[in-house]
A and B are shown apart, each in its own frame.
Chain A
């Protein structure tokens, strides 16, 4: 009776992609915001060159988290404002499929922004961020944010002043991801030996897997109301 899981997930992702290619609502807002964020940090930290260099990984991840928050809010607002989420919920589709579909499209958009930011920061901050392991860290970290952000955006969708609620709800929960990702990034940037940062990457992967599992299990409850 149920629509196959994969069909549903693919339908949601391709729907989001098509709408985004047409309107570029999410990507343009996220990218411009991220760009501004990097510039503002650059000005704010310029006085002290050493401080700036040490702050690069912090700037990268804070920028990514803030930009992704904007994206998640917008992406779920597209579902919520017109009640479209209801239309999806009416369909014979398993609830985790809806969660996974939204997660994948959110991940894709945030990842695109991240992959634009990395070369940009390489230029602006004069430090090579385009390293293999750093990109792996980015792939992992952004996935963790997307998982938790998608679930919490679904949760805050029905609250008063939801645009403000998502950051408040998400930032503390995202802290373990942020912490491990920043540590790994700093070490990789400084060309430290792998034994010093591999543990951070492993921790990041562990937290991401735990969060994804939790989100997966709880998405049914969040969507069934």
Chain B
């Protein structure tokens, strides 16, 4: 409040680019789709005979992993395109992909733990698939730490593109570990479950009906919409920081 006496510098702002029509539409469709699939899972699909209501968490649990898969996959695509084209836009998408994917991976881990508590009688167990999913989340946490630790802007973008490509191996390991290390207790819904899987349930037509829309939504619209929003915010943040430094250095 003491600034009144000082001469205020001319007010400078970073102009917000209007939200593209496609993004507006995408956001609405995603929100509606999210409510719709949630309703399908919570009310339309029948209650599992053995597991009861808790089985419904599965309609979020499995799709969230595939959402993370798409998001981390977009990080790889963004990384490759950034290295090729050197357009910052691609790096922003790659960075946003990690944040969105990490959020999805955490949803996946937490919902899994909530489900495991009544079914496996424990929140967590050192099962190969659970372990690799946790390592996947940690890999991308490491990505964010690395990203914060590189000062030079161009170097940061290049290096993180490279690391984003390597980090995807942890996603692939999580995806394929059941095929490679068969002694997991984690059930497989699509295809044959491993012999010692505990907590499998039958993929009845009701389950499939609720699962497929949810899966498609998390696989495509959810990550794409969120990453688009996040990278736009990042772009504005960078513009604001640039303006700030420009004013400070004048």
Chain A residues near B (Cβ < 8 Å): 148, 151-152, 155-156, 158-161, 165, 168-169, 172-173, 175-176, 179, 203, 214, 218, 221-222, 224-225
Contacts and interface: CB of A to CB of B under 8 A. Distances in A.
Nearest to B148: A160
Given A159-B149, A172-B135, A175-B135, A222 B162 contact: yes
Q: Classify the secondary structure of A's interface with B.
A: helix
Contacts of A172: 135-136, 138-139, 142, 167, 170
B164 to A, nearest CB: 11
A131 B170 CA distance: 31
A173 B166 contact: yes
A152 B169 CA distance: 14
B173 A179 contact: yes
B145 interface: yes
A163 B173 CA distance: 26
B90 interface: no
A6 B151 CA distance: 34
21 contacts: A148-B166, A152-B163, A155-B146, A155-B162, A158-B155, A165-B145, A165-B146, A168-B145, A168-B146, A169-B163, A172-B136, A172-B139, A173-B166, A173-B167, A175-B132, A176-B172, A179-B180, A179-B181, A203-B180, A218-B165, A222-B159
B169 A176 contact: yes
A225 B158 contact: yes
Nearest to A224: B158
B152 interface: yes
B146 A169 contact: yes
A160 B170 CA distance: 24
A156 B159 CA distance: 9
B154 A225 contact: yes
A218 B166 CA distance: 10
B142 A225 contact: no
Given A165-B149, A172-B139, 9 more contacts: A156-B146, A160-B151, A168-B146, A169-B146, A169-B163, A175-B132, A179-B173, A224-B158, A225-B155
Name the prevailing secondary structure of the B interface residues: helix
A221 B158 contact: yes
Contacts, number: 72
Nearest to B155: A225
Contacts of B167: 172-173
Nearest to B136: A172
Across the A-B interface, give the 10 residue pairs with the lowest CB-CB distance, nearest first. Answer: A172-B139, A159-B149, A225-B155, A160-B149, A168-B142, A218-B162, A173-B166, A155-B159, A172-B170, A221-B158
Contacts of B145: 165, 168
B231 interface: no
B75 interface: no
Contacts of A152: 163, 166
A159 B146 contact: yes
Q: Which residue, B138, B159, B172, has most C-beta atoms of chain A within 10 A?
A: B159
A166 to B, nearest CB: 10
A168 B158 CA distance: 19
Contacts of B35: none
Nearest to A207: B169
A176 B172 CA distance: 9
B83 interface: yes
Contacts of B142: 168-169, 172
A168 B167 CA distance: 11
Given A155-B159, A161-B149, A176 B173 contact: yes
Nearest to B174: A175
Contacts of B139: 172-173
A172 B234 CA distance: 27
Contacts of B180: 179, 203
B142 to A, nearest CB: 5
B150 interface: yes
Residue of B138, B158, B162 with highest tally of chain A CB at under 10 A: B162
Contact of A225 (B152, B166, B173): B152
B170 A158 contact: no
